Amino acid sequence: MNPSETIRRELTRRRYSPRTISTYIGCLERFLNWSKKPVNKITKRDVREWIERHSDKGNSGNTMNVNLMALKFYFEQCLGRKMWIDIKYSKVPKKIQRFLTKEEVKKLMANISNWKHRLMIQLMYGAGLRVSEVCNMKISQLINRKEGYGYVRNGKGGKDRLITIHPILTEKINNLIKIEELSEEAYIFTTNRGSKYNIRTLQTIVKKAARNAKLHNWKEIHPHTLRHTFATHLIENDYTLSDVQAMLGHKSPETSMIYTHGTGKMVGVKSPIFT
């Protein structure tokens, strides 16, 4: 089996995202084309020289890190070879994530004329979902339509998590299911052709609405902005970092610390939409 197929299978087995799989395969293939060595002849020094070439070209710390992680994954996880390399470099400072005020959220929603598109964006914000999670959500994931509970299946990192859906959104979704006579295994949101929406469509919807609403720095607003906004508004409503971590499905609390912390209890947590 060639290296590309080997790493693809292992990444897929571990439920890495398609984007990460594609990135890691590309990093591995470029490295192997550069080294021109059989895999069993490659050494730590070869890997170090490859990473240092990125540094010499002025590539960012993030680029070097992704390349190193891809190669480490292949050699350590696929081949069982230790490839620990101590390389110091400067990471690109993380930019503070843009989030919307509640008034801006209302303006954004008001500028989405298509009712189904608006419902998708409302669900994205109201449940803190990733754009891919909205596109891939099926009716069977709504485990309690009356109470407004569901779960995300195979989210980032292959994890499942429980989500809460505001009663108003639950009612709208139930009406949609009745109108379109959707089966349990159908996608909640489908196009006029019966296929699920793609990520780019939702990105376009959000960008267009932000522009039409004349929101400040509208070019920086995208679907993930709504997920950040959901978390920020939970914090403003006095929920804790642990609450946010659970609702967003973050692996560690450090990931949730980009939002200002507060206090509260997870029991009875309610979506910030319509409040």
Question: Is 156 an annotated catalytic residue?
Answer: yes
Cα–Cα distance, 52 to 140 (Å, whole number)? 49
Q: Which of 8, 54, 117, 227 is catalytic?
A: 227
- Exposure of 94 by Cβ count < 10 A (0-12 exposed, 13-18 middle, 19+ buried)? exposed
Q: Which of 117, 156, 166, 233 is catalytic?
A: 156
Question: Is 259 an annotated catalytic residue?
Answer: yes
Q: Among 186, 158, 160, which residue's Cα sits nearest to residue 173?
A: 186
Cα–Cα distance, 128 to 125 (Å, whole number)? 5
Q: Among 74, 75, 30, 69, which residue's Cα sits nearest to residue 53?
A: 30
Question: Is 44 an annotated catalytic residue?
Answer: no
Cα–Cα distance, 216 to 37 (Å, whole number)? 52
Q: Which of 24, 74, 125, 259 is catalytic?
A: 259
Question: Is 233 an annotated catalytic residue?
Answer: no
Q: Which of 8, 118, 130, 228 is catalytic?
A: 130
Eight-class DSSP state of 194: S
Contact 152, 141 (CB under 8 A): yes
The residues annotated as belonging to the active site are 130, 156, 224, 227, 250, 259
